[in-house]
Structure 1
Amino acid sequence: MDWSLLTCAFTGHRTYSPDEPELRDRLRVHTASGEAWRCLRCADFTVGPPGESGPADRAPDVSRDRHLRDTIVLRFFAVERLIRVVLLILAAYLVWSLRGNRGSLEQIFRQELPILGEAGLDVQHSRILSSIQEALGASEATLRWITFALVGYAVIELVEAVGLWLLRRWGEYFAFVATGIFLPLEIHELIQRVTLLRLGAFLVNVALMVYLAWTKHLFGLRGGRAAFEADRRSDSLIEIERAAMTDSRKTRRTGPDQP
């Protein structure tokens, strides 16, 4: 799939007129319908005036090709983190509410438990019912600390989501470290019992860590940040045209048949 064309179809083209005459002429053509400019993202020509103009070094930083794909993947993980934030906040609210309504909830639970058993539910070995019973028997201080822990976890996930969505370098490092801290806990839960939800969450977290470390050159991997920035600049349409201009000048000076 051409992610650049797909993104342009939804968000529109990004065109730019550099001040440098020779470079500007490589990004525009004159057609029967008028002036057309190359999109910095998909490299196709679009009729109309440029969206922006100025020095080439101040051209907008537009992700394209594999870097655009990386952007989409990171924002997918950011959305997944936001979903976790919502679930954690909801869980914290329920635990906090349990502090004041524990007596009435415990009475309802005891009244309905025999009915559930008559309906065929194995109330003696149900993990959900056991968790509810443990929560009803917990002290108010315990419930308070559980609430604080859930809120704290939600804040960590929120910071991850914001950093990944904004494509910040600190966000990538924060997401890697924060995700790695909780992996031992997830492994312990999988050892206790393998469920589809636990396994899915574990695989998503491992995939995120591997993806971040490899594609973003974290912790000096594959040349570190310098290699990542150089690779990103080399993918810019402005830089590609600059390199083509340099090669063209060398060819004119030396001739096509000379080294």
Structure 2
Amino acid sequence: MSIDWNRRTCARRGHVTYAPQEPDLRSRLTVDTHLGEAWRCLRCGDFALGAPLSGGPAAHAPLVPRGKVLRDLFVLRFLALERAVRGVFIVLAAVAVWKFSNSQDAVRRLFNENLDVFRPVARHFNYDLDHSPVVGTIQKSFGYGHHMLLIVAGALLLYALIEIVEGVGLWYAKRWAEYLTVVATAAFLPLEVYELTEKVSWLKIATLAVNILAVLYILLTKRLFGLRGGRRAFDAERESASLMEVATASDEPVAPGVTSGPAVSI
């Protein structure tokens, strides 16, 4: 079942109505009902009771995102949330590394003491803590110097900043954020592929697949780097989706009092 993105958005945000000054076009966008005048929504095409939200020359009508544009905006905001959440977790990791760098010896002693406590329990379940890859990785980190750990924390903070900036920009559908997301995500794809050669996991495969799909989706739908006509074709596509332009080009005006066609919203 296909989603009507126009009506879905109007149900959440309300209709967008506009009263053009041109008499012929004005008559196509309004009807009189027994409850009062109703104006055609520029987004979903339904008629909404009440005075229009704004008015003026048809050329100054708001360019309302519709249809495919709304669907693309939904996908971008999903990616924005994913980037923002990831950025927050990376910030927490950076803080943890920074705190660890300031109390490295105390953390090492605490870890070794608790390791001795859990060693008999691990043996009972036939798990060798002395040869555990997780324990080995933790113990290896104790050998890193304070300066190196600070560099790692700083790199994590920079990475988190990029993710959060991407998230904010994508939420507001900024074109620079789309470019940043494509470049930053594509730059880390070789590293993700390399990690799969080291150890395969479903999480790594899913993350790689999502990032590849995100890069391809943004590249093609937003026509970045000149693809599919570039920025000019992208703007033309958005402008052609304007219901005001559709109404202007219509050969059959919407006659007052009609009962067929788009429903009147009450």
**Same-fold call, TM cutoff 0.5:** yes
1:86 corresponds to which residue? Answer: 88
The counterpart of 1:21, out of the listed 12, 19, 23, is: 23
**Partner letter of residue 119 of structure 2?**
G
**Partner letter of residue 196 of structure 2?**
L
Determine if the alignment matches structure 1 residue 203 to structure 2 residue 209: yes
Which one is further off, 214-223 or 114-123?
114-123
Aligned Cα root-mean-square deviation (Å): 1.6
Structure 1 stretches of at least 4 aligned residues deviating more than 4 Å after TM superposition: none
Determine if the alignment matches structure 1 residue 216 to structure 2 residue 222: yes
Contact 2:63–2:239 under 8 Å retained in 1 = no
Aligned CA distance change for structure 1 residues 52 and 192 (closer, same or farther; 3 Å): same
Which one is further off, 196-205 or 133-142?
196-205
1:161 corresponds to which residue? Answer: 167
**Partner letter of residue 82 of structure 2?**
E
Shift of 1:125: 4.4
2:5 corresponds to which residue? Answer: 3
Aligned CA distance change for structure 1 residues 124 and 238 (closer, same or farther; 3 Å): farther
Distance in 2 (CA, whole Å) between partners of 1:159 and 1:57 is 34
Shift of 1:248: 5.7
Structure richer in helix, relative to its length: 1
After superposition, give the CA deviation of every residue in 1:189-243 in whole Å (9 maximum; x if it has no partner).
1111122332222111111111011111111211111111111111110111122
Aligned CA distance change for structure 1 residues 86 and 122 (closer, same or farther; 3 Å): farther
Secondary structure at the residue paired with 1:137?
coil
After superposition, give the CA deviation of every residue in 1:44-78 in whole Å (9 maximum; x if it has no partner).
11111111222222222221111100000001000
**Partner letter of residue 25 of structure 1?**
S
Shift of 1:98: 0.5
The counterpart of 1:117, out of the listed 116, 119, 139, is: 119
Aligned CA distance change for structure 1 residues 19 and 135 (closer, same or farther; 3 Å): farther
2:134 corresponds to which residue? Answer: 128
2:155 corresponds to which residue? Answer: 149
TM-score by length of 2: 0.88
After superposition, give the CA deviation of every residue in 1:86-120 in whole Å (9 maximum; x if it has no partner).
01100000000001121221111001113333333
Determine if the alignment matches structure 1 residue 180 to structure 2 residue 186: yes
1:252 corresponds to which residue? Answer: none
Aligned CA distance change for structure 1 residues 207 and 125 (closer, same or farther; 3 Å): farther
Overall identity of the aligned pairs, in % = 47
**Partner letter of residue 32 of structure 1?**
H
The counterpart of 2:68, out of the listed 66, 91, 113, is: 66
Secondary structure at the residue paired with 2:129?
coil
What are structure 1's unaligned runs of at least 5 residues?
Answer: 250-259
Aligned CA distance change for structure 1 residues 58 and 130 (closer, same or farther; 3 Å): farther
Aligned residues: 247
Distance in 1 (CA, whole Å) between partners of 2:54 and 2:134 is 58
Higher relative contact order (CA 8 A, sep 6+): 2
Aligned CA distance change for structure 1 residues 100 and 223 (closer, same or farther; 3 Å): same
After superposition, give the CA deviation of every residue in 1:125-174 in whole Å (9 maximum; x if it has no partner).
43432332122221001100000110110111122112211111111111
Aligned CA distance change for structure 1 residues 98 and 185 (closer, same or farther; 3 Å): same
Determine if the alignment matches structure 1 residue 191 to structure 2 residue 193: no
Distance in 1 (CA, whole Å) between partners of 2:8 and 2:34 is 26
1:54 corresponds to which residue? Answer: 56
Distance in 2 (CA, whole Å) between partners of 1:236 and 1:105 is 61
Secondary structure at the residue paired with 1:37?
strand
Aligned CA distance change for structure 1 residues 42 and 119 (closer, same or farther; 3 Å): farther
